[in-house]
Amino acid sequence: MKTRNLVHRSSQYVGKRLSRGFSIVEAAVGMGVIGTITVALFSGFTSGMFTMQMARENLRATQIMLEKMETLRLYSWDQLKTMPTQQTWDEKYDPNAAEGAQGMTYRVNLYIEPVPLTTSYAGDMKMVRVTLDWSTGTIKRSRSFSTYVAHNGLQTYIY
């Protein structure tokens, strides 16, 4: 009988111990861990979205510069010589904007200048530079691309 009583009492103790909840310290530590993980997760999402937006804007800036350079390749030397030496315009772009919305604005500057050379053929060449300026939130951003254009093509000046 004594052993029965002992077994019965120990099973009561185990049952009471298993039915107890977490202490306030354990609950606070658990909520702290969950909160830290949640903040890190949302911070990662925000950082990833911002990085994607910057990459999209850089890609669009490159597309605008290349589009203008490819257009200039179609001009004859006489057309290029008579163009204004500086042109400025705005390009609008935003893939997520609703129809009719303006979206991102790129300020495009095109410069056609004499080449910075003191050679006999410097008069037969021009330096073309395209510069883009835009803002990502409060961050001012800029990209530039330049190339030389020759009257008879570069092959006569290189070889």
pLDDT by residue (tens digit) across 80-91? 888 899 999 998
CA angle (141 as vertex; 94, 63 as ends), nearest 5: 50
- DSSP element (H, E) containing 135: strand 125-136
Per-residue model confidence (pLDDT) at position 156: 56
* In the predicted structure, residue 13 carries a pLDDT above the cut 60: no
pLDDT by residue (tens digit) across 103-113? 788 999 999 99
Helix residue ranges, H only, the chain: 2-18, 24-73, 77-82, 155-158
Q: What whole-number distance in Å separates Cα of residue 135 and Cα of residue 105?
A: 8
The predicted model scores a pTM of: 0.67
